[in-house]
A and B are shown apart, each in its own frame.
Chain A
Amino acid sequence: MGKTLFDKLWDSHVVLSKPGFPDAVYINTHFIHEVTSPQAFDGLRKRGIPVFRTAKTRATADHNVPTIDQHLPIKEALSRKQVEMLTTNTKEFGVELYGLGHPYQGIVHVIGPELGITLPGMTIVCGDSHTSTHGAFGAIAFGIGTSEVEQVLATQCILQYRPKRMKIEVNGQLKKGVLSKDIILYIISKISASGATGYFVEYAGEAIRSLSMEARMTICNMSIEMGARGGLIAPDEITFEYIKGREFAPKGADWDKALAYWKTLSTDKDAEFDVTLTFDAADIEPMITYGTNPGMGIGVTQHIPSVEQMEEKEKASFRKSLEYMGLEPGSGLLGKKVDYVFIGSCTNSRIEDLRLVAEFVKGKHKAEGVVAWIVPGSKQVEAQAKKEGIDKIFEAAGFQLRQPGCSACLGMNEDKIPAGMYCISTSNRNFEGRQGPNARTFLASPLSAAAAAITGKVTDVRELV
């Protein structure tokens, strides 16, 4: 019987597999950021050991950074300390840092791919659940906790049990105004926020294959929101085209050799998955979430379920969630007023997202009273946007183009959504308080978010494109 791509990659990275023990899996690239690494470096210090393979470790500062006036010291003392500690730790242990002010700085899951550090066939980890993003290149990539960060720093390996395999096939073609973000929100709404727990997902099918690399990253990024360990997509010409020529990508003879290897990376025809799910792209409309986990999503023209439609033991959590959101069970969202629009995060802050939004808002202006933030995923995205004149389009439309960072994706830095306000957001989590204490989040695609900025309310973007 054939093998899945996941199993091929896993098997080729197992250093030791012993009955009764988790596999020791070799890690090709380890990304670190300021929030989940200080205690890991501390652990190394206590044990008196170095970082085992410094060249396979890259660091950036993203979660705590402000997105305006980045040249000034970070105002909040604890945030500043955490970012400074990353600088001290990486210097002491000899790890490359793309810190604040560095031309490569940005959200860790944006910079890896754009710098050509993320490559097919790799194993990649980071102390951050959205590490699944890198799976879009045909890599095994997943988020880990700080104790595991310490393991990888110390040994370049991680102890893991092999997850089960799930295939998610999306066939057919997407309709106009529907983006890859809608595909993944749709899948999660169908299988729930825990529907893929214990699995590693491979995405396949015509609708996936026809997506750009950036759109594929959006899908893999949110694999964790259905509980999956990670998600991957077999590499193809679109992948190779994206990687070629990037800063750290292989060059010359190395490129040819790598390419020949990458072309072997696919699931065998007769390989078996533990579970296969199939969806039709034509069934997907622009999606929006109404609740406080990413599984609580509906097509923008549909209605929130009623309490009666919920299973008995889910009713309490459902009510709590809608109360938090200030929404009525059974109601629709179209026309609901929004206060903030956030276009950014490792899900949708790449140059393609910015281009798409710019093209849509060109010649339009945001609605009165709406605050519209565009936060590029990296310094390079920011620079590219300026080079293309996209910044001017945003300015004319009343959108604020800020500096790179995680920003309002999580209420950790200065960018927070005020209590009780509604934010339509291109990020990946709508948990209670995620964007700031008592902030209310609608997750949606960049186009849907941009449409809401223009009209000031939840809008079916298909009517505007």
Chain B
Amino acid sequence: MSKNFQHLVSTAVPIAIENIDTDQIIPARFLKATTRDGFGENLFRDWRYDSNNQPKADFALNNPTYKGEVLVAGKNFGCGSSREHAAWAIGDAGFKVVVSSFFADIFKNNALNNFILPVQVTDEFLEKIFSEINKDVNTQLEIDIEKQSIRILSTGDEAKFDINPYKKACLINGYDDIDYLLSLRKEIETYEAGREFNF
């Protein structure tokens, strides 16, 4: 997983299902690894394979016509368990961006901490993306972090997305929260000393 990126043009893999929880993204029985690698092969495991381990033809990730570094999914993506393994699986499978009309909080943090960009658009814009991909699987999306914009290249439709300035800088420059927090050592110790109730 490369750490930083600013700009991306890619086709997308659509999963038009709402409330996709992290148990679907990576089922619990695959959380036993003790490193961050290799989760991609079990991404959406139970939606991709039936109980005999045969690929389900109708699932988007098994459809060779869909490819790209962008995952487009229905509202409330990443709800449920806080497992960061969900973000690792998505990154490990080669996705750099997830587009949805709503993200669960913890997933959003986990994604950003792994240099995966959650792009939140309106319900209408999301529908538009789904229907363009429906018409043409080669529909390309352009995502520009600096401008905070996402564009459907074939139609020229464009939307802005929010990202907080701190996380934006982290993504563009490839640095993380721990670097920043470690630099606050003095402030943290001063805080500890000043607390009457530091339990």
| A271 at the binding interface (Cβ < 8 Å) | no
Q: Which of A38, A150, A194, A419 has a CB less than 8 Å from the CB of B34?
A: A38
Report how far A434 CA is from B174 CA in the complex, Å. 34
B18 at the binding interface (Cβ < 8 Å):
yes
Q: In the assembly, what is the distance between CA of A387 and CA of B138, in Å?
A: 67
A431 near B24 with CB under 8 A, answer yes
Name the A residues within 8 Å of B80 (CB-CB): 129, 224, 429, 431
**Complex Cα gap A47–B110 (Å):** 20
Name the contact of B106 in the complex, choosing from A47, A129, A434 (C-beta under 8 A): A129
Binds B, one of A141-149, A330-338, A342-350: A141-149
CB distance from B154 to the nearest CB of A (A): 23
Q: Is A43 an interface residue (CB 8 A)?
A: yes
Give A193 to B75 CA distance when docked, in angstroms: 11
Given A16-B187, A159-B181, A419-B51: A143 touches B82 (CB 8 Å cut-off): yes
- What size tier do the contact residues of chain B reach? 35 or more
Smallest CB separation, A334 vs chain B (Å) = 26
Interface residues of B (CB under 8 A from A): 16-19, 21, 23-24, 27-29, 31-36, 46, 51, 74-76, 79-85, 87, 102, 104-106, 109-110, 113-114, 123, 127, 164-166, 176-178, 180-182, 184-185, 187-188, 191-192, 195-199
Partner of A411, one of B16, B28, B184, B185: B28
Partner of A145 from the list B76, B79, B87, B176 (CB cut-off 8 Å) is B87
Q: Which of B32, B74, B181 contacts A412 (CB 8 A)?
A: B32
Closest 8 CB pairs of A and B: A145-B84, A78-B32, A145-B110, A38-B34, A147-B113, A412-B28, A143-B82, A129-B82
In chain B, what residue has the closest Cβ to A29?
Answer: B199
Q: Is A462 an interface residue (CB 8 A)?
A: no
Interface check A216, CB cutoff 8 A? no
Per the bound structure, the CA–CA distance linking A122 and B114 in Å amounts to 28
- Let me know if B18 and A433 touch, CB within 8 A: no
Q: How large is the interface on A (under 10, 10 to 19, 20 to 34, 35 or more residues)?
A: 35 or more
Known contacts A161-B164, A317-B18, A437-B27; decide if A145 and B197 are in contact (CB<8 Å): no
In the complex, what's the smallest C-beta–C-beta distance from B92 to chain A, in angstroms? 13
Residues of A near B178 (CB, < 8 A) are: 43, 47, 147, 150-151, 154-155
Distance in angstroms between the alpha carbons of A16 and B53 in the assembled complex? 50
Asked whether, in the complex, the Cβ of B29 is within 8 Å of the Cβ of A432, the reply is no
Instruction: Quote the shortest CB–CB distance from A437 to chain B (angstroms).
Output: 6
Chain B binder among A17-25, A167-175, A279-287, A393-401:
A17-25
Contacts of A154 in B (CB 8 A): 178, 181-182
Are B83 and A36 neighbours in the complex by a CB distance under 8 Å? Answer: yes
- Chain A residues with CB under 8 A of B17: 316-317, 320
Give A residues with C-beta under 8 Å from B: 15-16, 20-22, 24, 26, 28-29, 35-36, 38-39, 42-43, 47, 49, 56, 63-64, 78-79, 81-82, 85, 119, 121-122, 127-129, 143-148, 150-151, 154-159, 161, 163, 193-194, 197-198, 224, 227, 229, 258, 261, 293, 295, 313-314, 316-317, 320, 410-412, 419, 429, 431-434, 437-438
Q: How far, in angstroms, from A121 to B198 measured CA to CA in the complex?
A: 10
Q: Which residues of A contact B76 (CB under 8 A)?
A: 193-194, 197, 227
- Report the minimum CB–CB distance from B155 to chain A (whole Å): 20
Q: How far is the CB of B153 from chain A (nearest CB, A)?
A: 25
| Contact, CB under 8 Å: A148 / B79 | no
CB pair B184–A24 under 8 Å, yes or no, is yes
Query: From residue A228, how far is it (CB to closest CB) to chain B in Å?
Result: 8
Tell me, rounded to whole Å, the shortest Cβ–Cβ distance linking B166 to chain A.
Answer: 5
State how many angstroms separate the Cβ of B87 from the closest Cβ of chain A. 7
Nearest-Cβ distance from residue A111 to partner chain B, whole angstroms: 17
Q: CA A314 – CA B27 in complex, angstroms?
A: 23
Say whether B19 contacts A317, CB under 8 Å. yes
